[in-house]
C-alpha cells in the first residue's frame, strides 16, 4: 500500500518571553519567532515600568530632584543623583569641596561593586546548573552585597537609597568609625571577589554557555550607543572616569578592563575585573581623604532657591551600566524647563533585536543577562 506524506507549512511559532519572566530582570517582553528552538526574529516591547520621571522634574525644584532620580537605576541609586548634580553644578559653576568629591567617589564605587554582584548572582540563576549550582552563587553574591549595604547604613542611615548627594556637596561625612568599617569591608571583599572571578573564569559549564554567544562587534556596539561593560566587553576602551574625568577621578589610578571577542563571557569578566578596580579606587580615597567641609552651599531657604542661568547643558558619568547623561534646559527659574536622561540600559538593550536571531531560546536568557539591563533605567 502506498504511503502518502503530507507536507504542511505551519509557519513560525511566536513565543512571548515576559513581561513577567524571571530571566528578563524586570518587566520586559520579548516576542520570539521560532523555528523549533531556533530564533528567527525578535520583537521587543518596553514601557511596562514607565514612571514619567523626566516630566515629573518639570514640577520640582532642582534640590528636590536627586532623591527622585535614585529610583531609576535602582541597583546603583547614587549614580543617578550624582549624574544630575554634576550637570547642575556645571551649569551654575558651583565648586564642590575636595572631601565631598572623594566621598562621592567612595559611595559610587561601592555601589558599582554592589550592582555587579547582583548582576553576577542573578546570572547564576539564569544559567541554572552553571556557576556553582546557580543558587549558591546567588546567595554568596548577595551576602557580600549585604556587607556593602551595612556600610551605607552606617554612613547615611539608609541601606540603599542613600540620598547622600546634593548640589554643592554631600549630606553625610565619614568619621573614624565609618572609615574603619570601609577599610575592613575592602579587606573582606578582595579575597571574595578574586575567588568568584577564579570560579566563573574556570567553570566549564559557564564557559560553554557563554563563549561565542551573543557576540557584539565593535561596530555594532558603537553604532547602537553601547557603553559600559557592554562596550568594553567588545574591546572598546571607553570609560568616562578616564576619558572625561569628573569629581576627582583624574587623581585615581585604576585600569579599564576590556574584552576581546565581545561575547557574554567577556562582558561578565569585564564586570568582575571592574569590581577589583573599584576596590583599588576605594582604597585610594580612604588613603588620600582630605580634611575640610563637605558642602560649598549654605542651608537652603525658600527665598534662595537654585536658579541656573538660561540655556541647555549636557554632562554624563560612568554608571555601572555605562554612560548615564543628563540634558537639562533651564529657563532661569528654580525648576527645569526640560530634562532628558541618556540611560545606558536603554542603549545597551537596543542591541538585543540584532543579537538574538539565529540563536536558541536557551541563548536568549544568557544574552539578555549579559547585558545587565535595569528597567527603571530603561523606561524611566
Helix (H) or strand (E) holding 206: helix 204-210
d(CA 73, CA 76): 6
**Residue boundaries of the structural domains of the chain:** 56-379
Helix (H) or strand (E) holding 136: helix 135-156
Q: What is the pLDDT of residue 279?
A: 94
d(CA 355, CA 233): 15
Q: Exposed (0-12), middle (13-18) or buried (19+): which is 175, by Cβ within 10 Å?
A: exposed
Q: Over the chain, what is the mean pLDDT?
A: 87
Q: What is the pLDDT of residue 303?
A: 45
Q: What is the pLDDT of residue 155?
A: 92
d(CA 288, CA 290): 6
Q: Which residues pair with 338 in a beta bridge?
A: 329
Q: Which residues pair with 170 in a beta bridge?
A: 165
Q: What is the pLDDT of residue 7?
A: 44
Neighbours of 56 (CB within 10 A): 14
- Location of C-alpha cell 558651583: 94
What single string gives the DSSP state of each residue in 56-125? Answer: HGGGS-GGGSHHHHTTSSTTSHHHHHHHHHHHHHHHHT----HHHHHHHHHHHHHHHHHHHHHHHHHHHH
**184 is written with which cell numbers?**
575592613
What parts of the chain have a pLDDT lower than 50?
A: 1, 3, 5-10, 302-303
Task: Enter the CATH code of domain 56-379.
Answer: 1.10.645.10
Positive or negative: CA dihedral 267, 269, 271, 273: negative
By C-alpha distance, which of 342, 280, 283, 346 is closest to 315?
Answer: 342
By C-alpha distance, which of 203, 235, 50 is closest to 128?
Answer: 203
Core vs surface per residue 306-315: b (16+ CB within 10 A) or e:
bebeeeebeb
- Pseudo-torsion of CA 171, 177, 183, 189, nearest 10°? -80
- Location of C-alpha cell 506524506: 5
Q: What is the pLDDT of residue 1?
A: 47
Q: What is the pLDDT of residue 10?
A: 43
Cβ partners under 8 Å of residue 319, min gap 6: 73, 76, 79, 80, 83, 228, 344
d(CA 317, CA 326): 9
Amino acid at each position: 500500500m502506498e504511503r502518502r506524506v503530507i507536507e504542511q507549512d505551519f509557519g513560525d511559532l511566536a513565543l512571548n518571553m515576559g513581561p513577567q519572566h524571571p530571566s528578563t530582570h524586570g518587566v520586559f517582553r520579548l516576542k520570539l519567532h521560532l523555528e523549533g528552538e531556533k530564533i528567527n526574529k525578535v520583537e521587543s516591547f518596553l514601557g511596562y515600568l514607565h514612571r514619567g520621571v523626566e516630566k515629573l522634574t518639570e514640577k520640582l525644584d532642582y534640590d528636590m530632584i536627586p532623591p527622585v532620580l535614585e529610583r531609576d537605576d535602582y541597583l546603583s541609586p547614587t549614580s543617578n543623583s550624582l549624574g544630575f548634580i554634576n550637570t547642575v553644578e556645571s551649569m551654575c559653576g558651583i565648586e564642590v569641596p575636595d572631601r565631598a568629591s572623594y566621598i562621592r567617589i567612595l559611595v559610587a564605587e561601592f555601589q558599582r561593586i554592589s550592582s555587579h554582584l547582583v548582576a553576577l548572582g542573578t546570572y547564576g540563576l539564569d544559567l541554572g546548573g552553571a556557576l556553582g549550582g546557580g543558587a549558591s552563587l546567588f546567595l554568596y553574591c548577595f551576602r557580600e552585597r549585604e556587607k556593602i549595604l551595612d556600610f551605607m547604613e552606617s554612613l547615611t542611615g539608609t541601606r540603599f537609597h542613600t540620598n547622600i548627594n546634593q548640589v554643592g556637596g554631600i549630606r553625610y561625612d565619614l568619621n573614624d568609625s565609618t572609615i574603619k568599617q570601609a577599610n575592613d569591608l575592602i579587606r573582606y571583599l578582595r579575597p571574595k571577589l578574586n575567588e568568584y572571578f577564579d570560579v566563573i573564569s574556570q567553570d566549564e559549564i559557564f564557559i560553554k554557555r557563554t563563549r561565542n554567544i551573543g557576540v557584539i562587534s565593535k561596530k555594532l556596539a558603537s553604532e547602537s550607543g553601547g557603553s559600559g561593560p557592554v562596550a568594553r566587553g567588545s574591546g572598546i576602551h571607553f570609560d568616562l572616569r578616564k576619558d572625561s574625568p569628573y569629581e576627582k577621578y583624574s587623581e585615581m589610578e585604576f585600569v579599564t578592563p576590556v574584552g576581546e571577542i565581545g561575547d557574554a563571557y567577556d562582558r561578565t569578566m569585564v564586570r568582575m575585573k571592574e569590581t577589583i578596580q573599584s576596590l583599588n579606587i576605594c582604597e585610594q580615597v580612604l588613603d588620600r581623604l582630605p580634611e575640610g567641609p563637605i558642602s560649598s552651599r549654605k542651608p537652603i531657604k525658600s527665598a534662595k532657591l537654585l536658579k541656573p542661568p538660561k540655556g541647555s547643558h549636557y554632562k554624563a558619568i560612568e554608571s555601572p551600566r555605562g554612560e548615564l547623561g543628563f540634558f537639562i534646559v533651564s529657563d532661569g527659574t528654580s525648576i527645569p524647563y526640560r530634562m532628558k536622561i541618556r540611560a545606558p540600559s536603554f542603549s545597551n538593550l537596543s542591541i538585543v533585536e540584532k543579537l538574538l536571531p539565529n540563536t536558541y531560546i536557551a541563548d536568549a536568557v544568557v544574552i539578555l543577562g549579559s547585558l545587565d539591563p535595569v528597567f527603571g533605567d530603561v523606561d524611566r
